[in-house]
Amino acid sequence: MKRLLRRLRVPAMILGLIFGAMQLVPYGWSHSNPPIEQDTPWPSADGRAIARISCYSCHSNETEWPAYSYVAPMSWLVRRDVDRGRLKLNFSEWPQDEDDIEEAIEMVEDRAMPPTQYTLIHRAAALTNEERSLLLRDLEKLEDSDEDGDDQSGSDDRGDDDGG
């Protein structure tokens, strides 16, 4: 046993040095939540609650930064996921491009969102079939209201006011 411990001492020290050096890489250190420009006008309180639990950590300016998000290499992965999520769809910067909402609907329908690697750690974020249906219904209503200029009349007129 002593022999095995002696053999593992040098590799363990090398791994410890590598892990320590990883902490010096500045990417992932900064955890900011920019101001909320305009929150999404969710059609229902239930849809809003589901989105807050399952989506807002990566797709809003209300990210909760867990302790592991401060330790490399996890900090790198979390920072990358939040940056990408906010870029694709940010519920804190409404209104969104209708293509972003359409893509979100497709991702939720295809069960690509929330991603498995996220729900493995954040069990509450996993969607039941009922929650998925409710979230999809609200996203579709948001898409319709965006297309209709917020009047939900079904008209193709986007309701843009060009000041003329």
**pLDDT tens, position by position, 65-82:** 988 888 888 888 999 999
**152 domain-assigned:** no
Q: Judge whether 143 and 108 are in contact, CB under 8 Å.
A: no
- pTM of the entire predicted model: 0.75
Over residues 10-35, the pLDDT tens digits come to 888 888 888 888 787 777 667 789 99
Length of the chain: 164
pLDDT of residue 28: 65
Please give the residue range of the domain that contains residue 53.
41-144
How far is residue 142 CA from its own chain's centroid? 18
The Cα–Cα gap between 109 and 101 comes to 12
**159 domain-assigned:** no
**64 domain-assigned:** yes
**122 domain-assigned:** yes
Please count the structural domains in the chain. Answer: 1
Which spans in the chain are helix H? 2-22, 45-54, 74-88, 98-109, 116-119, 129-147
**10 domain-assigned:** no
